[in-house]
Amino acid sequence: MEKKDNKLRVLVGAVFLMATSAIGPGFLTQTTVFTQQLVASFGFVILISILLDIGAQANIWRIIAVSEKRAQDIANEVLPGLGYVIAGLIVLGGLAFNVGNIGGAGLGINVLFGMSTEMGAIVSAVIAIIIFLVKEAGKMMDRFTQMLGIVMIGLTLYVVWTAHPPLGEAAVRTIVPEKIDFLAIVTLVGGTVGGYITFSGGHRLLDAGIKGKNSLPEVTKSAISAIGVASLMRILLFLAALGVVAQGLALDEANPPASVFRLAAGEVGYKLFGIVMWAAAITSVVGSAYTSMTFIRTFHPFIEKYHRLFIVLFIIVSTFVFVFIGRPVKTLILVGALNGLVLPISLGVMLVAAYKRTIVGDYKHPLWLTIFGGIVVILMAYMGIYTIIHQLPQLFE
């Protein structure tokens, strides 16, 4: 019975680790900005992105589970050396975005207690480090992300209630949009399953011993459930923002999500935003640090032995950069552009691996999942290349 309960805890923990890794400061900002631009039609963008998210994540988690290997090791077996390239991109991307996550956590504490953003960032970093230093770090991480995930959803639900969004119009435009923004779709997919995010739960299950063909039904359910939790938060935030925008109120360009909470629920709403922002940011710090290090653990016995210390170092470096340098915008744009290629490359590698008997044995990968994954690879590769061609030159003008 205890073993069964432990397995359920890990499965649920993987769901919330992935979902809360996706729900970071960028997630909150993207959702409110796109709602302001597309109004009720943003519901259609969310619907399509959810389908693409499922196509990417179900493929990746299943192949990690059935091969019983981490993504970088699978990539090295498909094409020697490719795993090191993907790991490098994941770690660099994770580090760059973790600077933003640390900053978001600092902002949350600033809103709640008036403490400086830098000091709030340091306090948040210490909390994240403590999680990885306790004896049962995996269990602690699972509970921490679950608790804060539920808190975020509950508080945002309250703000939706106070915002009084036009639910009927949102439902209609989700099926029959007035306008379609493909860049918004790709941005949402990248923000939900891009970079390290989609691998967080898959690697967590592998670390906990949930792997092999027999575990595939549970792994698939867990993968889809994780998208469901992240998408629920996306939908609630969309409805809250839609309620505010539908009233003709303007969002603050400097901090769109904060203004949604404040306009919908007054100063109480602003404090609730502080809680949601801190919860979103700190869980993303935990997810980014944990997952980024799973990509290099297998490369050397020394890293495997001291992987917790590497996680702690990862958080310390992110915090140091934010506190003493700030958010290096050019670096974030550069790494973000490169990170846009991580999903199509890694998912493409997984789809190839699904048909290599040396990796997956006699496992037969579902054709619908392959087609689904192929669509995501093509879409994300196109937009990733587009971003690099059109954004990177601007960095050096």
Where on the phi/psi map is residue 179: left (φ > 0), alpha (ψ -120 to 50), or beta? beta
Residue 217: is it exposed, middle or buried by C-beta count within 10 angstroms (0-12/13-18/19+)? exposed
Class at the top of the CATH hierarchy for domain 2-395? mainly alpha
Q: What is the structure's pLDDT at 299?
A: 92
Q: What is the structure's pLDDT at 137?
A: 84
Return d(Cα 47, Cα 41) in angstroms, integer.
10
For residue 312, give the H/E element and its range: helix 307-324
Q: Is the pLDDT of residue 101 over 60?
A: yes
Residue from 15, 230, 311 nearest 142 by CA: 15
Q: What is the structure's pLDDT at 328?
A: 55
Return d(Cα 24, Cα 128) in angstroms, integer.
15
Burial 47-73 (b: 16+ CB within 10 A, else e): ebbbebbbbbbbbbbbbbbbbbbbbbb
Q: What is the structure's pLDDT at 116?
A: 95
Quote the pTM value: 0.92
Residue 158: is it exposed, middle or buried by C-beta count within 10 angstroms (0-12/13-18/19+)? middle
- Mean pLDDT within 123-149: 93
| Amino acid letter, 198 | T
Band of the pLDDT at 392, cuts 50, 70, 90?
A: low
Q: What is the structure's pLDDT at 191?
A: 84
> Do 72 and 295 touch, CB atoms closer than 8 A?
yes
User: What pLDDT, in 10s, does the model give residues 3-15?
Assistant: 677 888 899 999 9
The DSSP code for 254 is T
Count of beta carbons in the 10 Å neighbourhood of residue 228:
14
Find which of 157-166, 180-189, 329-338 is predicted with most confidence, using mean pLDDT: 157-166
Q: What is the structure's pLDDT at 381?
A: 87
User: What pLDDT, in 10s, does the model give residues 311-359?
Assistant: 999 999 999 999 988 765 555 555 555 666 788 999 999 999 999 999 9
Q: What is the structure's pLDDT at 93?
A: 86
- Collapse the DSSP code of 88 into the 3-class scheme (helix H, G, I; strand E, B; otherwise coil) and give the result: helix
Question: Tokens at residue 46, please?
Answer: 């969310």
Q: Which residue has the tokens 């993987």?
A: 14
Q: Which residue has the tokens 């608790």?
A: 147
Q: What is the structure's pLDDT at 96?
A: 85
User: What pLDDT, in 10s, does the model give residues 194-222?
Assistant: 889 999 999 999 999 999 999 999 999 99
Q: Is the pLDDT of residue 2 over 70?
A: no
Q: Is the pLDDT of residue 391 over 60?
A: no
Question: Tokens at residue 245, please?
Answer: 């925008």
Question: Tokens at residue 145, please?
Answer: 């992300």
- Mean pLDDT within 57-76: 96
| 387 vs 274, higher pLDDT | 274
Q: Is the pLDDT of residue 267 over 60?
A: yes
Q: What is the structure's pLDDT at 235?
A: 97
Contacts with 324 (C-beta within 8 Å, 6 or more apart), sequence order? none
Among the residue ranges 23-32, 123-132, 380-389, the one predicted with the least confidence is 380-389
Please give the full DSSP string across 199-222, using - where no structure is assigned: HHHHHHHHHTT--SGGGHHHHHHH
> Do 83 and 73 touch, CB atoms closer than 8 A?
yes
